[in-house]
Amino acid sequence: MASHGQADYAVGIKVVPLSIIDGVVAVLIAADDGRHVLPGGALLAGETLEGAAQRILADEARIDAAYVEQLYSFGEQHSVTVAYVALVAGQGFAAPLKISSDLALGEVIVPWAGEAGGPVEVCSPGGEQLALAAGEAEILGQTMLRLRGKLDYSGVGFALLPERFTLRELQDVHEAILGVRLNKPAFRRRMLDKGWLEATGERETGASFRPAELYRYRPTKGA
């Protein structure tokens, strides 16, 4: 290979599996000799980029159903890595964590407000900060930035919820991603006015108080 000519590259894929658990943004990471790494691997011959992301998500994070979206591509010396975010609904992390002892749960702590951007921190459920492999904190930061930007005008938030959900659960998702508390009546009005929500007529069960109505996401043309 010439030092400054056209070259071949290995193409890697990296996936950020995110979910909302108990009102906080959670990431599924692999424990790898002290450091924690995001699920990743090589793009194989014949695969699409997104297909590879889905495969890696299934193989390494044991997740079969997720909304996957491309984030950003990074060039290194002889390789290029394409990062994807995978939004996992409801309790989708529970099974993988039970199956595989290599996987760990991290809480994403965003140390900046609004759309400022920058790296984030990841803590264990116990509260200690986890060591991340080089560059992972920045990728996670990009992920949070992207989600914050798209939350309001796109349907990404619904990818983090089961098919039927209450307005309170939807608000919890928004509050976790944005990192701020939202006003309940105002949030409810805004969401209903967007026309994205369809009331199912069913109610939430198991609550020891007035049950909330269950809604369904109905994507509109143009979002």
Partner DNA sequence: CTGCCTTCTATGCATCTTGCAAATTAGATA
Partner DNA sequence: TATCTAATTTGCAAGATGCATAGAAGGCAG
What residues make contact with its own copies under the rule CB under 8 A?
A: 1-11, 42-49, 70, 72-75, 77-78, 80, 82, 112-117, 149-150, 153-154, 221-223
Nearer Cβ to DNA, position 78 or 168?
168
Which secondary structure element, helix H or strand E, spans residue 32, and what is its range?
A: strand 24-32
Name 40's Cβ contacts closer than 8 Å, sequence gap at least 6. 12, 13, 14, 15, 56, 60, 81
Nearer Cβ to its own copies, position 167 or 191?
191
Nearest approach, Cβ of 114 to DNA (angstroms)?
A: 13
CA distance 204 to 78: 53
Nearer Cβ to DNA, position 98 or 184?
184
The letter for the amino acid at 98 is: K
Nearest approach, Cβ of 157 to its own copies (angstroms)?
A: 15
Nearest approach, Cβ of 57 to its own copies (angstroms)?
A: 16
Q: Tell which positions 139-168 bind DNA, by CB under 7 A.
A: 166-168
Is the Cβ–Cβ distance between 72 and 142 less than 8 Å? Answer: yes
Nearest approach, Cβ of 170 to DNA (angstroms)?
A: 10
What's the residue count for the chain?
A: 223
Residue 102 DSSP SS3: coil
Nearer Cβ to its own copies, position 48 or 205?
48
